[in-house]
């Protein structure tokens, strides 16, 4: 007569499963943090009569694109592009025009040209009279851009918790197996 299969999972199998699940959480954390750090906040800050600094910011880090003296600033303009969806004929975003090139002042394209034109007009007013006051323009698209990062990070935490639960079960089972062997 053969021995029936044990009704409980051996601790070794639980440890192997727990290790696999814990390792599975690593790529979710990596992709989650990478998506959370998408530089979707664009800040243009100009000192009164001084240079302008363009910075891109994510949830975790910030990158300074450059500091531009007034002599390098040539203005701002509205960048137009065709919408790939076809629902709206055009999409827009503001561009900073310098002697070093053109730099987008928002990560996302916008449907309202008037909103983008207001930002361009405000920057042009600053350029005409930079000694009067400073200028600050901020477009923060981080909440919309980081949804995928939040999804990956939440999944990573859930997978990690599952792996830790399996590890705790494996330790408990190993203790039970040792107790059974000792008696």
CA 130 to chain centre: 34
Same domain, yes or no: 85 and 16 = no
* pTM of the predicted model over 0.75: no
Same domain, yes or no: 30 and 48 = no
Mean pLDDT of 104-118: 90
pLDDT in tens, 81-99: 865 655 556 889 999 999 9
Cβ atoms of 58 and 39 within 8 Å: the answer is: yes
Same domain, yes or no: 29 and 66 = no
Same domain, yes or no: 78 and 99 = yes
- Which residues span the domain enclosing 156? 11-36+147-177
CA end-to-end span of the chain: 24
Confirm whether 183 is domain-assigned: no
Same domain, yes or no: 53 and 109 = yes
Same domain, yes or no: 127 and 75 = yes
Confidence at residue 145, expressed as pLDDT on a 0 to 100 scale:
82
Cβ atoms of 53 and 44 within 8 Å: the answer is: yes
pLDDT grade, residue 110 (50/70/90)?
confident
Confirm whether 182 is domain-assigned: no
How does DSSP classify residue 163? H
In the chain, the number of structural domains is 2
pLDDT in tens, 141-167: 988 888 999 999 999 999 999 999 999
Nearest-10 crossing angle of helices 147-182, 11-36: 160
Confirm whether 91 is domain-assigned: yes
Q: Which of 181, 177, 128 is nearest to 8 (CA)?
A: 177
Which helix (H) or strand (E) covers residue 55, if one does?
strand 52-57
In the predicted structure, residue 1 carries a pLDDT above the cut 60: no
Task: Please give the torsion angle defined by the CA atoms of residues 40, 46, 52 and 58, in that order, rounded to the nearest 10 degrees.
Answer: -20
Same domain, yes or no: 110 and 91 = yes
Sheet holding 41-46, edge to edge: 62-68, 52-57, 41-46, 135-140
Same domain, yes or no: 93 and 134 = yes
What whole-number distance in Å separates Cα of residue 71 and Cα of residue 73? 6
Confidence at residue 51, expressed as pLDDT on a 0 to 100 scale:
92
- Average pLDDT of the chain is 88
Same domain, yes or no: 88 and 28 = no
Q: How far is CA 104 from CA 1, 75, 107, 133, in A?
A: 77, 12, 7, 23
Same domain, yes or no: 91 and 49 = yes
Mean pLDDT of 38-49: 92
In the predicted structure, residue 5 carries a pLDDT above the cut 80: no
């Amino acid at each position: 007569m053969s021995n029936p299969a044990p009704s409980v999972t051996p601790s070794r199998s639980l440890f192997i499963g727990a290790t696999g699940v814990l390792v599975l959480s690593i790529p979710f954390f990596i992709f989650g943090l990478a998506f959370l750090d998408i530089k979707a906040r664009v800040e243009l800050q100009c000192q009164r009569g001084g240079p302008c600094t363009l910075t891109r910011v994510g949830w975790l880090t910030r990158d300074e694109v450059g500091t531009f003296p007034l002599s390098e600033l040539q203005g701002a303009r509205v960048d137009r592009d065709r919408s790939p969806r076809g629902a709206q004929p055009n999409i827009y975003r503001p561009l900073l025009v310098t002697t070093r090139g053109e730099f987008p002042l928002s990560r996302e394209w916008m449907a309202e040209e008037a909103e983008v034109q207001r930002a361009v007009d405000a920057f042009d007013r600053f350029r005409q009279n930079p000694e009067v006051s400073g200028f600050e323009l901020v477009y923060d698209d981080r909440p919309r851009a980081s949804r995928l990062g939040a999804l990956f990070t939440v999944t990573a935490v859930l997978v990690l918790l599952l792996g830790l639960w399996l590890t705790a079960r494996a330790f408990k089972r190993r203790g039970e197996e040792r107790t059974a062997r000792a008696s």
